C-alpha cells in the first residue's frame, strides 16, 4: 500500500478543513486536492496545490481585470487559438504542485524535464523504506526485436517466474545489506558505528522508490505529458503521465481538450509532407520515392494520413 494509515488520516484532516479564498478555484481540481492516486505497486501522484483555471489563461491572454469569462464559447475559441499558434505564456500562468512517489529509474527519466521545481526525499537525511517496484506479470516483457527502446512479447511460465524471483531476491538482498551497513549493532549483537546514510544508500537498486514535490506550469506540463503519455514512452512513466492527464482534464477542461486535439491527437507536417497531401488530393499516386522524404519520414507520414481503421 503506498500510503500508511497515518498518512491517510493526515490527508483526510487536510480535506476536512477547507478555507475560504478570493483566488480562482477549479471545482474539478478541488476534488483531487491531497488525494493520492495510486500508480504502479507502491507509487502515487497527489495534488498539493494549484494556481489558476481555464479563465486564468484567458484573463492573462487578454491582460484583463475580470475573473475570466462572459462567454464560454469565446474563451474556448481563444484557448484553442492560443494552443494552435503556440502562444505559450498564457498557459504558463497556471501552475500545479504534485507529490509523487516513483521508482528511481522512472525519476531519472522524469528529472530530464528541466522546467519544473523539484524537492526530493533525502536519503542522506532519512532511511529509505523497503519498497521496490516489481512489475506486474503482464508488464514482464522481453526485449523488442524491432525497437531497441521497446518491449516485445510478455514472458510466461518458468521464465517469468525466474525473472520475478531474481528481481525480488536482488532487491531484498540489497536492502538487507543497506540495513546491515546502517545498523549500530553487528550480527553477533556487538556494537558498531554504522555507515553514514549518504554512503549506505549506494548499493540500492534503481527500482527502489523515491518521492518528490514537483511544481510546474501548465505549458511545460503539457510538454511533459505530450512526451510521457505517448505510446513511445516507457510504460512505467506513462502510467504516471496518464494519471496526471486525468487530473489536468478536471482542472482546466477547455485547455486540456485543446491540448488533446492539437498536441496528443494532432501531427506536425513538414513542407514536403504538405506538398504530398496536396498532390494526393489532386489524385496523384505519391510513393516514398517520389515524395522527397526518407523511408522513416514516409512511414510516419503514412501513419498519419492513413485511416487506422
Report if residue 249 touches ligand FAD, rule: CB under 6 A: no
What distance in Å separates the CA atoms of residue 26 and residue 251, rounded to the nearest whole number? Answer: 6
Nearer to ligand FAD, 183 or 220 (CB): 220
Is residue 87 involved in binding ligand FAD (CB under 6 A)? no
Nearer to ligand FAD, 223 or 272 (CB): 223
Cα 128 off chain centre by: 22
Q: Which is nearer to ligand FAD, 151 or 223 (CB)?
A: 223
Stretch that binds ligand FAD, among 1-9, 95-103, 109-117, 154-162 (CB under 6 A): 109-117
Q: Pairing state of beta strands 141-143 and 209-217?
A: unpaired
The piece of 88-96, 112-120, 245-253, 297-305 that touches ligand FAD (CB under 6 A) is: 112-120
Strands in 25-94 per DSSP E = 36-39, 43-51
Cβ proximity of 53 and 251 under 8 Å:
yes
The single residue among 14, 64, 74, 115 that binds ligand FAD, judged by CB under 6 A, is 115
Cell digits for 202? 549506494
CB of 144 to ligand FAD, least distance (A): 13
Q: Report the nearest approach of ligand FAD to the CB of residue 258 (Å).
A: 19
Q: Which of 19, 70, 71, 114 binds ligand FAD (CB under 6 A)?
A: 114
Identify which of residues 114 and 295 has a Cβ nearer to ligand FAD in the complex.
114
- Closest distance between ligand FAD and the C-beta of residue 241, in Å? 10
Q: Name the residue among 208, 267, 218, 262 with its Cα closest to residue 244.
A: 218
Which of 160, 151, 99, 106 has its CA nearest to residue 133?
Answer: 106
Site mask, ligand FAD, residues 214-243, x = CB under 6 A?
------x--x---x----xx----------
At how many degrees (to 10) do helices 295-305 and 271-281 cross?
50
Total number of residues that touch ligand FAD (CB under 6 A): 9
- Dist CA 271 CA 225 (whole Å): 26
**Taking a C-beta distance cutoff of 8 angstroms, is the pair 108, 206 a contact?**
yes
The contact set with ligand FAD (CB under 6 A) reads 112-115, 220, 223, 227, 232-233
Amino acid at each position: 500500500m503506498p500510503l500508511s494509515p497515518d498518512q491517510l488520516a493526515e490527508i483526510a484532516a487536510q480535506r476536512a478543513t477547507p478555507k475560504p479564498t478570493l483566488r480562482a478555484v477549479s471545482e474539478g481540481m478541488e476534488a483531487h486536492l491531497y488525494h493520492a492516486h495510486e500508480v504502479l505497486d507502491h507509487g502515487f501522484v497527489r495534488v498539493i496545490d494549484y494556481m489558476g483555471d481555464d479563465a486564468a489563461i484567458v484573463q492573462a491572454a487578454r491582460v484583463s481585470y475580470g475573473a475570466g469569462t462572459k462567454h464560454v464559447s469565446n474563451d474556448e475559441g481563444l484557448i484553442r487559438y492560443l494552443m494552435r499558434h503556440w502562444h505559450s505564456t498564457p498557459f504558463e500562468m497556471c501552475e500545479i504542485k504534485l507529490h509523487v512517489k516513483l521508482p528511481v529509474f522512472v525519476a531519472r527519466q522524469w528529472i530530464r524535464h528541466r522546467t519544473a521545481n523539484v524537492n526530493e526525499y533525502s536519503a542522506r537525511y532519512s532511511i529509505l523504506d523497503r519498497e521496490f517496484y516489481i512489475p506486474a506479470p503482464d508488464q514482464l516483457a522481453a526485449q523488442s526485436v524491432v525497437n531497441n527502446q521497446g518491449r516485445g512479447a510478455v514472458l510466461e511460465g518458468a521464465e517469468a517466474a525466474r525473472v520475478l524471483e531474481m528481481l525480488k531476491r536482488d532487491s531484498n538482498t540489497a536492502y538487507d545489506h543497506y540495513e546491515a551497513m546502517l545498523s549500530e549493532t553487528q550480527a553477533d549483537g556487538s556494537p558498531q558505528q554504522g555507515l553514514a546514510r549518504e554512503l549506505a544508500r549506494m548499493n540500492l537498486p534503481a527500482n527502489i522508490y523515491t518521492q518528490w514535490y514537483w511544481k510546474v506550469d501548465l505549458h511545460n506540463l503539457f510538454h511533459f505529458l505530450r512526451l510521457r503519455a505517448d505510446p513511445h514512452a516507457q510504460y512505467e512513466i506513462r502510467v504516471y503521465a496518464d494519471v496526471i492527464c486525468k487530473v489536468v482534464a478536471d482542472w482546466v477542461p477547455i485547455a486540456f481538450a485543446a491540448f488533446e486535439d492539437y498536441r496528443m491527437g494532432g501531427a506536425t507536417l513538414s513542407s514536403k509532407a504538405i506538398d504530398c497531401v496536396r498532390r494526393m488530393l489532386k489524385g496523384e499516386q505519391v510513393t516514398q520515392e517520389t515524395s522527397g522524404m526518407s523511408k522513416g519520414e514516409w512511414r510516419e507520414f503514412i501513419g498519419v494520413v492513413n485511416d487506422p481503421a
